[in-house]
């Protein structure tokens, strides 16, 4: 083996070790955040969970905010994967829009902790700012780039489905795709949040939360019908 080849092999091994260490820190941070929340978590506790010094943690991440962002990115990726999978089955435009809502609900049921983190991040990370990938490459660090990549991916999924539905005259065209997407997202997340806080009342009334979701989606579909002149 040549000296150059040996150098390359050593560099690759070091890069793998560094990436594995990074993943170990993220895994430890996730455990702490899920058990204590963002405000209750500290870098000292994360370091203790990872069996590393706090200084070593800071060699990989600048703050607990950045680590929280990484967990939120992973959460958002799971949701986006569920969105794309949900769009494989429906045939009509309205069915596809409803399937996104159902996927959101399914995500909240299967990954309640990640769902809470995503909602929490919306208020913490001055959000609503989602730069394009070109902008992100210039102004953000690695964790932020990956986060906004998933945010932009969500936007493309929703806007793509809604834009196609409008062009096919399947839904009303007097509203912009971003407006409809934000309205759908807000309605769905709001309903899911309310249902999670009213489980006891729903059981007392004998009401299934899925029936409420179905009813709301029917109302949404009715409201999106093309206007008749």
Tell me the two tokens of residue 73. 């990115």
pLDDT of residue 6: 60
Residue 5 has pLDDT above 70, yes or no: no
- Domain coordinates in residue numbering, the chain: 1-61, 64-223
Superfamily (CATH) of domain 1-61: Homeodomain-like (1.10.10.60)
Mean pLDDT of the chain: 86
What pLDDT does 93 receive?
A: 93
Confidence of residue 192 (pLDDT cuts 50, 70, 90): confident
Distance CA 71, CA 35 (A): 13
Q: Find the mean pLDDT for residues 151-162.
A: 92
Highest mean predicted confidence (pLDDT) among 32-36, 81-85, 110-114? 81-85
Name the band, by pLDDT with cuts 50, 70 and 90, for residue 68: very high
Encoded tokens for 88: 């494989």
Per-residue model confidence as pLDDT tens digits over 160-183: 999 999 999 999 999 999 999 988
Q: Does residue 130 surpass a pLDDT of 60?
A: no
Between vectors from CA 125 to CA 150 and to CA 192, what angle results, nearest 5°?
Answer: 70
pLDDT at 49 over 50: yes
64-223 is classed CATH 1.10.357.10:
yes
Alpha carbon distances (Å) from 224 to 45, 76, 229:
48, 26, 15
b/e code 89-110 from CB counts within 10 Å (16+ = b): ebeebbebbbbbbbbbbebbee
CA distance 138 to 86: 33
Share of the chain above pLDDT 70, in %: 90
Number of C-beta neighbours around residue 138 at 10 A: 8
């Amino acid at each position: 083996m040549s000296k150059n080849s040996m150098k390359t092999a050593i560099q690759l091994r070091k890069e793998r070790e560094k990436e594995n260490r990074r993943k170990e820190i993220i895994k430890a941070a996730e455990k702490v955040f899920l058990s204590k929340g963002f405000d209750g978590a500290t870098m000292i506790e994360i370091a203790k969970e990872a069996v590393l010094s706090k200084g070593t943690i800071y060699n990989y991440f600048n703050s607990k905010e950045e680590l929280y962002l990484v967990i939120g990115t992973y959460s958002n990726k799971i949701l986006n994967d569920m969105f794309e999978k949900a769009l494989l089955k429906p045939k009509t435009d309205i069915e596809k829009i409803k399937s996104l809502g159902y996927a959101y609900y399914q995500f909240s049921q299967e990954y309640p902790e990640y769902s809470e983190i995503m909602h929490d991040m919306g208020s913490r990370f001055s959000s609503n700012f989602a730069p394009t990938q070109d902008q992100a490459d210039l102004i953000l660090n690695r964790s932020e780039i990956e986060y906004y990549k998933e945010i932009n991916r969500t936007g493309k999924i929703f806007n793509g489905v809604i834009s196609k539905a409008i062009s096919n005259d399947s839904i009303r065209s007097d509203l912009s795709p971003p407006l409809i997407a934000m309205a759908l997202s807000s309605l769905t997340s709001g309903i899911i949040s309310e249902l999670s806080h009213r489980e006891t009342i729903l059981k007392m009334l004998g009401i299934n939360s899925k029936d409420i979701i179905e009813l709301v989606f029917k109302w949404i579909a009715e409201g999106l019908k093309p206007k008749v002149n």
